[in-house]
Chains A and B, each alone.
Chain A
Amino acid sequence: AGVLQANDITAFKGVWVFAEQKSGVLGSAVIELLGEGGRLAEALGVELSAVLVGHNVGPMVEALSAYGADRVYIVDNPRLENYNDELYSAVVCDIISRYMPEIFLIASTSIGCSLAPRMASRLGTGLTADCVSLDIDIESRRLIQTRPAFGGNLMASIICPYHRPQMCTIKPRVMKAVSPDYLRRAEVIAPRVVIPGAVNASVIDIIKDAGQRVNLSEADIIVSAGRGMEEPRNLEMIYELAGVLGASVGGSRAIVDAGWLDYRCQIGQTGKTVRPKVYFACGISGAIQHLAGITASKLIVAINSDPDAPIFKVSHLGIVGDVKKIIPAFINEFNKGGGL
């Protein structure tokens, strides 16, 4: 029950990726999606396409080709300069209805998580959220989409057997990009679409975070603080450690609730999910709701004075001791040794 659903799902062919861009810069997850999409397309024996919507977006076709797109559907219009839910969902759904891909991948970014459910709702198809792995069942050509639910306590494999496209969102940093080949040239298609006239909601101002605080969900190194830091002024140590490592700062809900740290820095089930290369848990006990946000980290380093703290069950490196002593000792050692 949507604008699209055809009786014959075999009429849908090809793997598509939404090429999110802001001010002419591709979202960092787009090349990861192309890497994964290419793998799925190969398994299915179909082409990989990217959908690029915006204004003056032509120059990004080169990167999309290099990272694996065989075809780029491009809609270039001044009214599409900035992302807008209503305009983008109408435009992308229009192209999907015309060219009928069997799989459509979108990154779970702030834009992607707003766009994808609107599109799936309009198309009347299924949407699997925040997938961490994708597979093709060759015989049925079905996409098997695996995702965490219940705050990461349960993994579910989800299929969308009778509706197309099979849509899913994918967290940044989960899939692998392939190395670029700048000799590849994608075919460019510029479908004519009708852009809706009026919109009912629009961004009227953007407040960029000051300083180098990067997006936690894309950070390589994160230093996180918990109630074991004892006092807000001890967070200085955390900022200093983050400074020398070039890391972003996060925290447990306990210190966000206490007002030591902004809610946007909260990591866990009701905060952000992160997957850095290194995650420092400083004075964090390791409650299940906190673990829900961090278990995909490559290396978890826990510093806690209680040898029985649950965080040590999931940490790769555990240091039993007082954070207030260990962090300064580490910064000292780091500076002495000339960095990493």
Chain B
Amino acid sequence: MNIIVCVKQVPNPENANFNEKSNTVMREGVKAIINPLDLNAIEEALRLRDKTGGRVTALSMGIPEASQLLKEAVGMGVDEAVLLSDPLFAGADTLATSYTLSKGVQKKGNYHLIICGKQSIDGDTAQVGPSLAEKLGIPHITCVDKIEETGEGFIKCRRIADEGYEIVQMKLPGLITVVKGINEPRLPTLKGIMRSKKAEIPIWNCEDIGADAGQCGFSGSPTKVFKSFVPDRRVDSRIIAGSPEEQAAILLEELKKAL
């Protein structure tokens, strides 16, 4: 099975800095990482490949520096990686991102399954997976936490729904988005790191993938962020003192008031 994994570069939350004065995210000096759920997506793709054969390709749309992260994906074991990068792609919302990724996928061609993370930790919309599937005219399954079975031209997955699980059968080619519970991503091996050092990451621009510039980046994005602010989290906090029994009694009184 040939698999394409979509990988997004995100700021590392450990040292991302939210500035309450300027109400923006300070990105300077913040190390970029692979979106955590995309590591699960890579891991699942590698496991499927090792079972069924085929190739795994990591695909990212981002700034040229993102090729560094694609090298990490190579270190984990993906067979190849491609970066879609062009100043025309900047400022993309989920619609423009999905469009651009769909053109990249079509240029790559010959795939059976696309795996995305369920959501990113920055934009955080969980929209790119289903939106990309629609652009490609293929079916999708969101929130997959287990692949039950794969066979000739189909995949069967367990997905997390509101009141339990659903088992969904999907014809291939198709797209799934995965949640953290699906697996434990592997660390790069020494051999992988050696391989990643030598790996060439091709960069495809707007023209290379035959995309319509008007549908990419800022100009292809119907949504615009027109204001952002750091939420005020301060609350009126009360500490309940006393022995456990006294604390419990006061807590009960407070709960009665609140409910």
Contact = CB atoms under 8 A, between A and B. Distances in A.
Given A201-B170, A204-B168, A156 B228 contact: yes
Interface residues of A, number: 93
B162 A329 contact: no
Among B163, B179, B180, B245, find the residue whose CB has the most chain A CB atoms closer than 10 A.
B163
A329 B247 contact: yes
A277 to B, nearest CB: 6
A62 interface: no
- Number of chain B interface residues as a range: 35 or more
A86 B139 contact: yes
Interface in B174-193: 174, 179-181
B137 to A, nearest CB: 10
Nearest to A322: B244
A150 B119 CA distance: 11
A110 B143 contact: yes
B36 interface: yes
A277 B259 contact: yes
A203 B167 contact: yes
Contacts of B179: 263
A137 to B, nearest CB: 10
A126 B240 contact: no
Interface in A185-217: 199-209, 215, 217
A139 B99 CA distance: 32
Interface stretch (B46-54, B64-72, B103-111, B230-238): B230-238
B121 A207 contact: no
B239 A320 contact: yes
A181 to B, nearest CB: 27
Contacts of B37: 270
A201 B139 contact: yes
Given A121-B98, A150-B25, A269-B121, A85 B251 contact: no
Contacts of A319: 239-240, 247, 251
B212 to A, nearest CB: 7
A269 B122 CA distance: 10
A200 B171 contact: yes
B142 interface: yes
A122 B134 contact: yes
Q: Main SS of the interface on chain B? A: mixed
Q: Main SS of the interface on chain A? A: mixed
A149 B124 CA distance: 6
Contacts of B165: 206-207
Given A121-B131, A155-B230, A203-B168, A150 B18 contact: yes
Contact of B221 (A126, A206, A321): A126
A159 B128 CA distance: 18
Contacts of B130: 85, 113-118, 121
Interface of B: 13, 16, 18, 24-25, 36-37, 93-95, 98-99, 121-135, 138-143, 145, 156, 158, 160-171, 174, 179-181, 212, 214-215, 220-231, 233, 235-241, 244-245, 247-249, 251-252, 254-256, 258-259
Interface of A: 1, 85-86, 89, 109-111, 113-118, 120-122, 124-130, 144, 148-163, 199-209, 215, 217-218, 221, 262-264, 266, 269-271, 277-278, 288-289, 291, 295, 298-301, 307, 312-322, 325-326, 329-330, 332-334, 337, 340
Given A109-B162, A200-B138, 14 more contacts: A1-B220, A85-B139, A125-B95, A149-B228, A150-B18, A154-B230, A159-B226, A160-B222, A203-B166, A205-B167, A299-B258, A317-B254, A329-B247, A332-B248
The 8 A-B residue pairs with the shortest CB-CB distance, nearest first, are: A263-B181, A126-B222, A129-B125, A126-B223, A201-B139, A201-B170, A121-B134, A163-B222
